[in-house]
Chains A and B, each alone.
Chain A
Amino acid sequence: MTFTFNALASRLVLTALLAHAGIGFSKEVDFNRDIRPILSDKCFHCHGPDADNQKSDYRLDSEESAYAGLDGYFGIVPGNLKESEVHWRIRAPKGDIDVMPPEDSNRSLTEAEKDLLDAWMEQGAKYDTHWSFKQPVRPALPKLSPGTQKQVRNPIDHFIFAPLEAEGLKPSPEASLENRIRRAALTLTGLPPTVEMLNDTTGKDPKLSYAAFIDERLQSFDFAERQTLRWLDAARYADTDGYQNDAERKNWPWRDWVIGAFHDNMPFDQFTIEQLAGDMIPDATPKQILASAFNRNHRQNSEGGALADEFFVENVIDRVETTSTVWLGLTMGCARCHDHKYDPLSQREFFQMFAYFNNIGEKGIGKGVSANPTRIYSSPLMTPPPELVEVKKAAEEKLKEAQNNLSKRSLEWAAETAGALNETTGDDWTPAKVTRAAAGNGVTLKQLPDESWLVGKESAGSTTYSLTVDASSEYVSGISIDALPHDSLTSPRKLAPSTNGNFVLSEVRVTINDPSRDAPIAAKIKQAVATYEQDNYPAENAIDGKSNTGWAVYGATPESLPPTVSLFLLFEEPFDLSRKATINLELQHTSGFSSHHIGRFRINLTKSKMPKMGTGTGLPPDVLSAIQTEEGKRSPAQKKAILQHYRKLDTPLAGAENALSIATKALERAGHFEVPVMVMEENAGEPVPAYLLNRGQYDAPDKSEALPRAVPAALFSGDQKNQPGDRLELARWLVSKENPITARVVVNRIWRDHFGTGIVKTVEDFGAQSEYPSHPDLLDWLAVELVESGWNIRALHRLIVTSATFQQSAKMDSTLLSEDPDNRLLARGPRYRMDGFAIRDSALQSAGLLDSRVGGAPVKPYQPEGLWNVVAAGAGTRYQMDKGEKLYRKSLYTYWKRAVNPPRQLIFDSSGREACSVSVSRTNTPLQALVLMNDVTFIEAAKHAGLRALAFAGDDETKLNYLYRTITASEMTTHSGEILKENLKYFRSLYSGSEEKAKAFLSAGEAPLPEELPKTELAAWTAVAHLLLNLDKTITVE
């Protein structure tokens, strides 16, 4: 039987007529399936759960209120249409003032919907708990006819085939083995099978059955990486902070934790608990705390002037919304400003959920890398080379040693310093003659009559001054730099040509050139002190050996700051210099902030061992007074002040720290980084109170009541007194049998990942506005199965891809095309476009370029010129493309900048990773065609795939077959073969006529080609591979 839409429409009209005649439907109306979606979408806006903010007092969201008496009449009288006002209102003619929904509401009911509502009221207007709020119970397997039964491979098929039988449809035949292998490989791993895999499974004498192939794939890192990729969208993982300047963050060790968890097949309940509350598990391991970074992947605002309270609230709300979407499938964010319009979620309950997530002592603003709580992690997947680890361990030991005697050395220093202080006299610093001054990057320097130096107006991203200072016949123990204001420099600071007159001095290098010595000596600086330093930009930054830190001199009220600032540098050992000695002073400005270089300066030298530095001795007041207090009489605070100050001066400690830093860098060069990860760390003691925020505004808390933590009552079946008391209990409740939703939500997403559409199409919403499940019993069966399997995710994937349903052919006939174009009944196998990640990775694999390393810091592959520069500010403007193998790592590892997403992913519908996203969009656009046609990634992939074909033994036809199979993982048809042969012929003749063209075409990409190559022949094969990489079937799961 086939219905066209017209036939269907007339059938519906007929049904409606029957309903009006009082004959009713042949089958009972199901409230959850048929009625709630209508009430929710068309009525609840004014007659729903948000009682305080709707026009009407009459509510349709529960039995009591729907049946309640109104002023002498009733909204609904069960079983009695004539007495039910709702019936008359929905049937009122257009234009009637009583018609419901009102005409200005932008909502209206179709005739079919009115019929359903009437039938429901006639049948008793029975209400029912929303389906997803009821505990799933494992349903019995539906019976099938013997013919269909033969096609069954596992229980899933019963639930899919039974409705097909009822509709008079048949499951499609099984797809070819090759086709099934490719489909399963793509949905499990995001990669098609390699030619070797195809030979192993579909060759004449296969080594692996379909099931064995599936098991092999499930055990692979490819599988773990693919599942992680899905999870990253849900977890809104990115490599930058998201707001304004979009600073880089380093939460990627968490990403590697996820890969490890999927590879180990961690049970989903444990996966949940560790990510939501790993920090609160008793005796939590560092790995469990790393897992909790899940809820720190939110965006983080460090825009100048941003208000901490406002963004603290946004961060916490993000956690509530993400957690509720990922685990509960509820759009809880709708209850931020008022009670939920459709679901039984009150605004109060929203902020009760908020109360689980607001207690980690975060500040709300600031860059992610320092947005405490943070912890230092490296990738949990990678084992660093043992010899480098040994070196590092030894350095750590040395450091411990140095720290051991630190206290003793600090006391010696204090005594010595106290003595020196008593001896110090006189004018300590004398201006030095700068005999030569030059600056890099086009910046000019000129000397003013007062002998200070002034920069020109040239702007520069970075510049280094190189100064030669006359130091003949001097005893020199230190050098200082005075930064002086000048009217040609920028207000308010007037100390630099930058936008606000501020500078950042990144690093200072001092070299002593004394002709009486063999070679120039790099002066070791033991102390850097400034007369003024900006928060987070202390003077020590100028001597820390790091080019990305520095000393700067700005502040909240720039006009009240000292107009002149000085930096004093004391040498570890004074120098006794001969005649003609000079000092070379290098001032590096490499912060990345434009033109933040010192605008006008003067250099001074000192002979004093303890010179005055600025207003005093260079010692902070508390340290000074501590030193001047007799040793036995020092308070604990004074002892601490001395120790902390001395730490920075101690040579053994500095040496040990330096050795450790070298050992660390060696590890980093080998790919092993230790980076700060934003994690959750629950505060001890009384939790921070949570209040209802009026209209959801951060500055409008209702302080009349601190809200107790609780999950929404509609979901909580236990005694309300036993509500989860903290985040850990919340996590445990989410994966407990008491929670009806989570297993369904998880199963549904995994189903979607294979079939392209969920059993519940609205994967992000299981509330009243959700779409009713296409196969509700199957959803429940799978949910129960998942829980009873011990939340075994791998087993669930195996179950799905080994079902007959999944293995059907994806071919459509006209019946299926007209009756079920979206394949919701699953009378055929899935067919949908791959995502951008899989498309790129598959092309790289076909080319033999894909780098298979797992985990580590993100990478920057090819990207069109200027993408970041056009929109970004400051340091964010540089995209430093990687080199070598990093260009070919899986797209999972591509650096994710929130302000400018990787373009080829964006064009293929990726989520922006700004906020949690679990739904998938698939468009079909010309911009996608342009990517596959012209992106260097795909041209280079074609070249290397072509190279493989060229190297494959055999004639053109054999090579073509091989190339076709490499790229499409299927056999070439005769017709396709003919087209491709002609294509090859065309390009062969084109390129043999112009070697120039061939060379140009082969110039794409960085991967080297073998030296001796028939260039024109390779160009022709590249063109054929390029054509194949653009095929619809190549980029489609089918």
Chain B
Amino acid sequence: MNPILQSRLVQNRRHFFGNSAKSIGAAALSSLLGKESLAKEGATASGDALNETESRFHHPVKAKRIIYLFQSGAPSQQDLFDHKPLLQKHFGEDMRDHFDMTQRVTGMTAGQQTFPLAGTKFAFSKHGESGTEMSELLPHIGGISDDICLIRSMYTEAINHDPAITFFQTGHQLAGRPSMGSWLSYGLGSANKNLPEFVAMVSRGTGRPNCQPLYDRLWGSGFLPSQYSGVKFMSVGDPVLYLNNPAGFDASSRRRMLDDLEKLNQEHLDSFRDPEIKTRIEQYEMAYRMQTSVPELTDFSDEPKHILEMYGPDVETRGTYAYNCLLARRMAERDVRFIQLYHMGWDQHFTLPKQLSGQCKDTDRASAALIKDLKQRGMLDDTLVVWGGEFGRTSYCQGKLTKDNYGRDHHPRCFSLWMAGGGVKPGITYGATDDFSYNITENPVHVHDLHATMLHQMGIDHEKLTYFFQGRHYRLTDVHGHIVKDILGS
């Protein structure tokens, strides 16, 4: 063979295997769930199976899995995590009397005559040995303050929900990029043979039930092959879409059907020799295993009473945040790699005090229970938990301000978020904002920085996990992102 043509073919294969990691062809033998993937660039020309002796990781692994508790809508930092007594002192005064408002404002409040400062109506107090200051709305999270790292200096680019949530999940404001969970499953593959490696779960807030929406693309795989998408666990019907056999067709019928299916497919494989057929056979077996492993996963009957109580009374109601938290722990035990919860309803433009109380009631106890539960099982050390929303809220009031009632618009330039476990330093507070929670004064953490840090704890160099698409090597962090070393343990 012409060596140049041959080298080109090899290059193409490597191009293929090195960049898209797994797809059809020989590589397909190890498609979804049966596979181990490649965080490392430049897989060998023979590319299919991973060389087991070769480390898949760029860094030592501090976290084996991530549970991301995404609070959709943007929780108010002033009322929960970032106490600003000066806002109470100057209550009702116009923000512009104190400094120039140079940041952009959404169309919802741009036309306001005044921007009255709204101090929180909730009391703050110090918790634990760390003395972390938190709101009375979060007594249980206050109770685990010595286990968490509170970041008060998060910031982002977008000012509206859709671009901001999309940015948080995919590192880009417009739809089309892979979500962080799909980057991880692309990079690391599955540690579990019977469950998906990336799962998304959604719950609705009771504080603001008529809330802003979510979109499936938030856990989608963007331009990565669809096998890296998050699998949405449903709160009604089959927990995984199309999981259950149809009526009148039980597990033994299914077994018989799959046995005959394998025979027929095998006959065809013998004739055509296309490895894809072999993969198809394996995927059907995997589907069959999921039909058993998912019901076992979602069956809480083996949980002792004291555990159920710890998560609160909602824990046994499907579709609640508490239920999803316990399910998340059960998934973590089964080595699901990236578990993402979305709790909706944190968008408090009006009647914040009432709505926020409801949102906190939904999430405070179960969030803390999850941390305690992981800790008592010795799993917190290698499980990274993240809690936070897509941006912050304004210190000025949207709409009419009274002592008991106010609302807050979107504020992207500073907000709070907390992490626990997975090698992150416990019991610390990181970063700070000015007296009006308008700007960051110390240790800013960008969304890209958070992503870089999360990948780092999972053993991945965020600059090296790339995918070739439309002529570019894309990354979760684009061309940005710095690891926040200050918050990492040794």
Contacts and interface: CB of A to CB of B under 8 A. Distances in A.
B175 A299 contact: yes
Contacts of A607: none
Q: Which of B31, B175, B464 has the most chain A CB atoms closer than 10 A to its own CB?
A: B175
Interface string A1015-1035: 000010001001100111100
B212 A873 contact: yes
B6 A11 contact: yes
Interface stretch (B131-139, B252-260, B448-456): B252-260
Given A305-B410, A979-B264, A924 B280 contact: yes
A702 interface: no
B439 interface: no
A459 B209 contact: yes
B4 A29 contact: yes
B472 interface: yes
Nearest to A45: B473
A772 B11 CA distance: 11
A933 B245 contact: yes
Contact of B257 (A833, A874, A1023): A1023
Given A491-B350, A990-B253, A1001-B249, A925 B283 contact: yes
Nearest to B268: A1033
B276 interface: yes
Contacts of B108: 304-305, 556
B431 interface: no
Interface in A989-1038: 990, 996-1004, 1019, 1023, 1026-1027, 1030-1033, 1036, 1038
Interface string A1-34: 1010100110110010000000001110110011
A871 interface: yes
Given A558-B399, A923-B31, A12 B175 contact: no
Contacts of A923: 23, 31-32, 225-227
Given A11-B6, A595-B210, A865-B237, A491 B405 contact: yes
Interface in B203-245: 208-217, 220, 225-227, 229, 231-232, 234-238, 240-245
Contacts of A5: 45-46
Interface in A737-772: 761-762, 764-765, 767-772
Contacts of A865: 236-237
Interface string B270-309: 0111111101110110110010000000000000000000
Contacts of B25: 821-822
Q: Contact residue range for chain B?
A: 35 or more
A106 B113 CA distance: 52
Q: Which of B232, B410, B470 has the most chain A CB atoms closer than 10 A to its own CB?
A: B470
A245 B268 CA distance: 47
A921 B226 CA distance: 8
A548 interface: no
A1002 B248 contact: yes
A982 interface: yes
Contacts, number: 367
Interface string B153-193: 00000011110000000000011100000000000000000
B209 A108 contact: no
B14 to A, nearest CB: 8
Q: Is the interface of B mostly helix, strand, loop or mixed?
A: loop
A501 B220 CA distance: 36
Interface string B1-35: 11111111111110110000001111010011100
Nearest to A461: B210
Given A112-B10, A923-B227, A979-B264, A934 B215 contact: no
A439 to B, nearest CB: 19
Interface in A468-490: 490
Given A242-B175, A813-B273, A926-B287, A492 B26 contact: no
Contact of B277 (A168, A933, A1032): A1032
A935 B231 CA distance: 16
A306 B272 contact: no
B10 A8 contact: yes
B113 A557 contact: yes
Contacts of A933: 242, 245, 254, 284, 287
B489 interface: no
Contact of B260 (A772, A831, A982): A982
Contact of B7 (A12, A908, A982, A1032): A12
Contacts of A501: 350
Nearest to B222: A912
A978 to B, nearest CB: 9
- 8 closest Cβ pairs, A-B complex: A1001-B248, A769-B471, A1000-B248, A305-B106, A866-B236, A929-B287, A305-B108, A873-B213
27 contacts: A12-B3, A37-B11, A106-B464, A112-B7, A243-B162, A305-B159, A556-B111, A557-B112, A560-B113, A822-B12, A822-B16, A869-B236, A870-B235, A871-B202, A873-B212, A898-B175, A906-B216, A908-B226, A927-B231, A927-B242, A931-B242, A933-B245, A933-B254, A980-B260, A1026-B249, A1026-B257, A1027-B264
Given A876-B213, A1032-B276, 17 more contacts: A3-B1, A34-B8, A112-B10, A246-B213, A305-B160, A491-B400, A594-B209, A814-B273, A832-B24, A865-B236, A870-B232, A873-B212, A899-B216, A921-B225, A924-B276, A926-B290, A939-B249
